[in-house]
A and B are shown apart, each in its own frame.
Chain A
Amino acid sequence: MIAPLNDHAVHTEHLTKTYKDFWGRDKVRALDDLNLTIHRGEVFGLLGPNGSGKSTTIKLLLGLIFASRGTATVLGRPAGDTTVNEKIGFLPEESYLYRFLNGEEILKFYGKLFKIDRATLKKRVPTLLDAVGLDAKARKRKLREYSKGMARRIGLAQALINDPDLILLDEPTTGLDPIGTREMKDLIVSLKQQGKTVLLCSHLLADVQDVCDRITILFRGKMQTLGDVRDLIQKKDVTNIETRGMSEQQVEDLRQYLQRMGVDPAVTHPTTTLEDLFIRIVRENTPAGQSSVGSGPA
């Protein structure tokens, strides 16, 4: 069933972008006939290798570039409409920010571009800086002195300054350490819980798999697949049974039982992920009340 239009956070029809050379001749078709609908409240993943058209799609949705053909609407308004930007947060691929301002100044500047009253802005800036893990010392330093991870965090803070309904994250975990990556993923989940729509653009598939409800995979500008993450990756002919505390004998008995039923099972011990191991070690060694983010440049 097609959701009503006002339920669409993003909707594109035959969206196409062809880059031209100096003489106006077609140079490359970066996006070809994209028909896509992202519902409100879902976390949507835009996947694909480099040059597949992910960033082009995001730029088109934000009005940074103009479509060669087709249409795109964002929160019910044509893409690039200035008024709709009140409800959009955008974290670019790299943190393209004014490098001579400090953390606080940059958030205040971006806050002033929205209809946020002074009192709210005054409260929201430190809250956001806390939320992204920038301590008091870091927020007074110029952005040009920030490490890549710190720049990513302040970039995320500016994307959330207006409490947006739709957040577009372009490679959000680039430059983040595993803890930062985990925090980012947790944040995305928490945004979903607040009813926000998140469009996540990445080629780090594990990150996308962890947080996205639905994904599409683009390749050479064309949409290759679209659907629910679980549906797309589930091996329906494989069954996993997990349990704790079984003895070697019990395992052997179970294997023989299954063999008698005509099934040849592979019995292994599951492993944790390196990410989980890393986070556990860092958290165990971080003194209480301190951020795990270094204050010095990378």
Chain B
Amino acid sequence: MPSILPLAALLPDAVNRHLGWWLFGIILVAGVAVGLKDIARLNLHGLRRVRAISSVSFRESIRRRVLWITPLAILGVIVVSQLQRPLDEQDAVRQTIKFCLFATGLIVAVTTIILACTNLPREIENRVIYTVVTKPTTRLEIVLGKVLGFAKISLLILLIMGAFTWAYLGLRASAMQRDIAQRLQSGVVPASSVATLKYYQDAGLLSAKTLETADGLQMFARLPDGASPRRYFPGGGEGSFLVPFTVDPEQLRPSAGAEPGESGLLIQAYIGYVRTGAVTPPPASAEPASTAPATAPATAPATSNPTAAQATTAPTSKPYYGPFIMSPEERQKVMAGNRPAQRPTVSIEVDDANQNTIGQAVPIPPLKTIELGPPDTITEVRAIVDPKVAKQLKGRVYIRVIGQDPAANYFVDLAQTPAPANLLAPKLGEGGQALPPLAVPPLPDPSDESKPHPPSFQTRAGTFGQQLRGGPKDTPVGIYSFRDADIRAGSGGTVPFELKSGIERSGADERPDEAVDPTQVAVRVHNRTTGQTSDEIIVRPESNRTIFFTVPAEALSGGNFDVLLRCLTLGDFVGLQNRSLVLVTSRQSFAWNLTKSLLILWLMAILVTTVAIFTSTFLSWPIAVVLTLVILLGHWGVQQLGDATAPGVGAQVVTDFGLKNPAKAEAVRRTVENLSSFLNFISTILPDISKYPAVEDIERGVAVPMVKLRDAAAVTLGFGLPLVLLAYVFLKNKEVAP
């Protein structure tokens, strides 16, 4: 954790960096020291007292008709699920799961907060506590008894809601599967949806899949030849490669006493190119296709011509370059200056850790462009990074090299130059004379530390992800690399894959008539172990919707393989992300997956209970409810503020308000920075409720990994235990007679 508060800044770095753990340890030790005698009394008799107190809390809640909230929630879920407008059957099931679990989580959290926050203050107010604390009951046993009692209540609510969710979804899913079977049999299903519906029919709508994602996605202009070290990326501003660095600002200091990056930086890159024939220029206004359901809704009349529905999709948006980023065409024009470039050019950028542009590198004057040499050879090019940009570099940065000529494919040669881009920091001697620049070492390859990290190849980012341009030939190829994948063949000796992509299209007027067919993507699998490449499988993705296809298991044997995707439809761009293509490795029962989700919710309910009981030991119940919500949502809330709590926000506010008076500006800057630091500090010591992801996996039909249960248990234990001890210490020192 960065130094955040004046107080925190005084702490040793080791404490500051792990403040949460230190607080946990201190509270634990202090709590044990204060309550050693009472902790020692937690023997069999002590546990019997805890159980007795918990039973009373449980019975009280039941007799106060707390469970009446469950039929209300069930009724709400049924009503809302009838009003939903799903894309297809799987979407209907997913939406229903979301409603059910959202309602479950909501009523558990609200019920627990209200019960636990009001219980202790009410017992003190109506003096029932007199007859409990005057028995041989320690205050620790009272706190533990209350926590256990409300944990039992929340478990009961979860069991009721879980049973309803399981039964209701089971009924809905089986009805929908019958409907799918009928539609498939009657042949009214559009061709693009047949594979997906068959998959639903075979795998069911409630299955919980285990998914395996690829190591990464690389976008090349040409399919890499196994024997060749060359890697091609497209020109025309469409393709680029990135080389990662970890920058220590000290490395960028030109001389002792100078600021890091004060003299700028030098970038060295090694690139070649080959001329291509006429290629389709990148779309001036690629536009995303609206989501078109593959299957007509059950109530809609079936159409025998699926293309009719596709033809009605209209472009809705234009590519977004951001306020300060030029379009590739404009950039090329500016970079070229007055003299048209004779040979293909590249542009070079410096990107931050999120691969957003920090600044542009410029050619060394008098050159106006970064122009390459003769074709088919590697050219060394150099560019300068402005000191303003260089001063911002810290931690992970990327050098991005972009090919600008639309009639060329660019390449790097990984054998000749394993690190195709270098970052050089100028150095000055004591007398100010120039010394040889210092090369910032490239990030090592994770699989072989002696080698530099290989470059990653990307295409231009569209609305959904990196764009895979479509066409009959000379189009880019997207490659997903899987390593040691767990291959489990299903029925028929095939392995299923999921693909979720976004389709963007050129303007309708540029689109040839024959291209109104659904977007087609050719899929092949190259097995790196056997060297074999499978036959082409044609899939028809739809925008922002998951489709399924299967691949023969033998093509994937060994688990080390690349999945190659190429868009065949001219004028279409398939947007891909790193997780757009996933391999389905196994399936679990829905009941078990639901149980895991409910367990996560229960762990959350236990945390809510401990927070609520802790606050109620020293506050009246309405204030305790508010503080409980603040504690539970504080971390999440600060995260939502995003950049507003980032370092430097004070200066940003001063700029935004246009404060001219230096004293006022400094006061505002410091106040905002301190407030931002305080919020950051608070968020580090508050529980992170995003560690209770009960809905997202099961909603996507993905098996909830056990690691999420473990993480949730760790948060509950890590915050619950100190809070129980604090509640005990507070209650021990509280006069319970009003």
Output the nearest chain A residue to B37 by Cβ-Cβ distance: A82
Does B85 count as interface, using CB distance less than 8 angstroms? no
Contact A100–B137 (Cβ < 8 Å):
no
- Cα–Cα, bound, A162→B131 (Å): 13
Which residues of the other chain, A, contact B352 by a CB distance below 8 angstroms?
A: none
CB B463 to nearest CB in A, in angstroms, measures: 58
Contact B134–A97 (Cβ < 8 Å):
no
Which residues of the other chain, B, contact A66 by a CB distance below 8 angstroms?
A: 735
Contact B131–A97 (Cβ < 8 Å):
yes
- Cα–Cα, bound, A235→B133 (Å): 44
Cβ contact of A113, chosen from B49, B126, B735, cutoff 8 A: B49
Contact B135–A110 (Cβ < 8 Å):
yes
CB B696 to nearest CB in A, in angstroms, measures: 39
- Cα–Cα, bound, A90→B55 (Å): 22
Contact A64–B136 (Cβ < 8 Å):
no
Which residues of the other chain, A, contact B55 by a CB distance below 8 angstroms?
A: 109
Chain B window 113-134, contacts with chain A (Cβ cutoff 8 Å), 1 for yes, 0 for no:
0000000000000111111111
Does A278 count as interface, using CB distance less than 8 angstroms? no
Enumerate A241-255 residues with CB–CB distance to B below 8 Å.
none
Enumerate A89-147 residues with CB–CB distance to B below 8 Å.
90, 92, 94, 96-98, 100-101, 105, 109-110, 112-115
Contact B59–A101 (Cβ < 8 Å):
yes
Does A29 count as interface, using CB distance less than 8 angstroms? no
Contact A90–B59 (Cβ < 8 Å):
no
Contact B735–A90 (Cβ < 8 Å):
no
Q: A85 and B135 in contact (CB under 8 A), knowing A96-B126, A96-B130?
A: yes
Which residues of the other chain, B, contact A94 by a CB distance below 8 angstroms?
A: 127
Contact A98–B136 (Cβ < 8 Å):
no
Which residues of the other chain, B, contact A109 by a CB distance below 8 angstroms?
A: 52, 55-56
Which residues of the other chain, B, contact A112 by a CB distance below 8 angstroms?
A: 48-49, 51-52
Which residues of the other chain, B, contact A62 by a CB distance below 8 angstroms?
A: 130, 133-134
Which residues of the other chain, A, contact B517 by a CB distance below 8 angstroms?
A: none
Which residues of the other chain, B, contact A162 by a CB distance below 8 angstroms?
A: 135
Which residues of the other chain, A, contact B737 by a CB distance below 8 angstroms?
A: 59, 64-65
Cβ contact of B128, chosen from A83, A98, A115, cutoff 8 A: A98
Cβ contact of B136, chosen from A101, A113, A158, cutoff 8 A: A113
Does A88 count as interface, using CB distance less than 8 angstroms? yes
- Cα–Cα, bound, A112→B44 (Å): 12
Chain A window 66-99, contacts with chain B (Cβ cutoff 8 Å), 1 for yes, 0 for no:
1000000000000000110110101010101110
- Cα–Cα, bound, A83→B55 (Å): 23
Does A178 count as interface, using CB distance less than 8 angstroms? no
Cβ contact of A90, chosen from B63, B131, B136, cutoff 8 A: B131
- Cα–Cα, bound, A140→B253 (Å): 84
- Cα–Cα, bound, A109→B135 (Å): 11
CB B340 to nearest CB in A, in angstroms, measures: 81
- Cα–Cα, bound, A158→B131 (Å): 9
Does A175 count as interface, using CB distance less than 8 angstroms? no
- Cα–Cα, bound, A61→B127 (Å): 16
Contact A100–B59 (Cβ < 8 Å):
yes
Output the nearest chain B residue to A108 by Cβ-Cβ distance: B52
Enumerate B60-98 residues with CB–CB distance to A below 8 Å.
60, 63-64
Contact B130–A92 (Cβ < 8 Å):
yes
Does B697 count as interface, using CB distance less than 8 angstroms? no
Enumerate B405-462 residues with CB–CB distance to A below 8 Å.
none
Which residues of the other chain, A, contact B56 by a CB distance below 8 angstroms?
A: 98, 101, 109
- Cα–Cα, bound, A86→B56 (Å): 20
Which residues of the other chain, A, contact B64 by a CB distance below 8 angstroms?
A: 100
Contact B136–A92 (Cβ < 8 Å):
no
Output the nearest chain B residue to A55 by Cβ-Cβ distance: B737
- Cα–Cα, bound, A162→B132 (Å): 13
Contact B52–A82 (Cβ < 8 Å):
no
Q: A115 and B45 in contact (CB under 8 A), knowing A64-B736, A64-B737, A100-B60?
A: yes
Which residues of the other chain, A, contact B131 by a CB distance below 8 angstroms?
A: 90, 92, 96-97, 110, 155, 158
Contact B134–A64 (Cβ < 8 Å):
yes
Which residues of the other chain, B, contact A115 by a CB distance below 8 angstroms?
A: 45, 136
Does B38 count as interface, using CB distance less than 8 angstroms? yes
Which residues of the other chain, B, contact A65 by a CB distance below 8 angstroms?
A: 735-737
Chain A interface residue bracket vs B: 20 to 34
Output the nearest chain A residue to B139 by Cβ-Cβ distance: A82
Contact A92–B135 (Cβ < 8 Å):
no
Enumerate A145-163 residues with CB–CB distance to B below 8 Å.
155, 158, 162
Contact A64–B45 (Cβ < 8 Å):
no
- Cα–Cα, bound, A92→B207 (Å): 59
Enumerate B254-305 residues with CB–CB distance to A below 8 Å.
none
Output the nearest chain A residue to B64 by Cβ-Cβ distance: A100
Does B615 count as interface, using CB distance less than 8 angstroms? no
- Cα–Cα, bound, A85→B134 (Å): 6
CB A38 to nearest CB in B, in angstroms, measures: 17
- Cα–Cα, bound, A64→B733 (Å): 10
- Cα–Cα, bound, A107→B64 (Å): 20
Which residues of the other chain, A, contact B132 by a CB distance below 8 angstroms?
A: 113
Does B680 count as interface, using CB distance less than 8 angstroms? no
Contact B736–A113 (Cβ < 8 Å):
no
CB B239 to nearest CB in A, in angstroms, measures: 70
Contact A88–B45 (Cβ < 8 Å):
no
Which residues of the other chain, A, contact B137 by a CB distance below 8 angstroms?
A: 82, 85, 113
Does B404 count as interface, using CB distance less than 8 angstroms? no
CB A200 to nearest CB in B, in angstroms, measures: 16
Which residues of the other chain, B, contact A110 by a CB distance below 8 angstroms?
A: 131, 135
CB A76 to nearest CB in B, in angstroms, measures: 15
Greatest chain B CB density within 10 A among A65, A94, A105, A112 is at A112
Contact B63–A113 (Cβ < 8 Å):
no
- Cα–Cα, bound, A63→B130 (Å): 10
- Cα–Cα, bound, A52→B318 (Å): 84
Does B198 count as interface, using CB distance less than 8 angstroms? no
Greatest chain B CB density within 10 A among A86, A97, A113, A115 is at A113
Which residues of the other chain, A, contact B677 by a CB distance below 8 angstroms?
A: none
Does B41 count as interface, using CB distance less than 8 angstroms? yes
Which residues of the other chain, A, contact B63 by a CB distance below 8 angstroms?
A: 100
Chain B window 25-60, contacts with chain A (Cβ cutoff 8 Å), 1 for yes, 0 for no:
000000000000010010001001101100110011
- Cα–Cα, bound, A64→B737 (Å): 6
Output the nearest chain B residue to A83 by Cβ-Cβ distance: B136
Contact B134–A88 (Cβ < 8 Å):
yes
Contact B130–A82 (Cβ < 8 Å):
no
- Cα–Cα, bound, A96→B133 (Å): 12
Does B501 count as interface, using CB distance less than 8 angstroms? no
Enumerate A168-195 residues with CB–CB distance to B below 8 Å.
none
Which residues of the other chain, B, contact A85 by a CB distance below 8 angstroms?
A: 134-137
Does B138 count as interface, using CB distance less than 8 angstroms? yes
Which residues of the other chain, B, contact A97 by a CB distance below 8 angstroms?
A: 128, 131
Output the nearest chain B residue to A112 by Cβ-Cβ distance: B52
Contact A114–B135 (Cβ < 8 Å):
yes
Greatest chain B CB density within 10 A among A82, A83, A90, A115 is at A82
CB B734 to nearest CB in A, in angstroms, measures: 10
Q: A98 and B60 in contact (CB under 8 A), knowing A64-B735, A64-B737?
A: yes
Which residues of the other chain, A, contact B136 by a CB distance below 8 angstroms?
A: 82-83, 85-86, 113-115
Which residues of the other chain, A, contact B736 by a CB distance below 8 angstroms?
A: 64-65
- Cα–Cα, bound, A260→B45 (Å): 76
- Cα–Cα, bound, A105→B56 (Å): 9
Which residues of the other chain, B, contact A86 by a CB distance below 8 angstroms?
A: 136
Output the nearest chain B residue to A100 by Cβ-Cβ distance: B63
CB A110 to nearest CB in B, in angstroms, measures: 6
Enumerate A26-66 residues with CB–CB distance to B below 8 Å.
59, 62-66
Could you list 23 A-B pairs, sorted by A, with CB under 8 Å? A62-B130, A64-B133, A64-B134, A66-B735, A82-B38, A85-B137, A86-B136, A92-B127, A92-B130, A94-B127, A96-B127, A96-B129, A96-B131, A97-B131, A100-B59, A101-B59, A105-B59, A109-B52, A112-B48, A113-B132, A113-B136, A158-B131, A162-B135
- Beyond the given pairs A92-B130, A96-B127, A115-B45, 7 more chain A to chain B contacts, judged by CB atoms under 8 angstroms and listed by A's residue number, are A82-B137, A85-B135, A96-B129, A100-B60, A100-B64, A112-B48, A112-B51
Q: Which 8 pairs between the two chains have the least Cβ-Cβ distance?
A: A112-B52, A96-B127, A113-B135, A64-B737, A85-B136, A100-B63, A65-B735, A90-B134
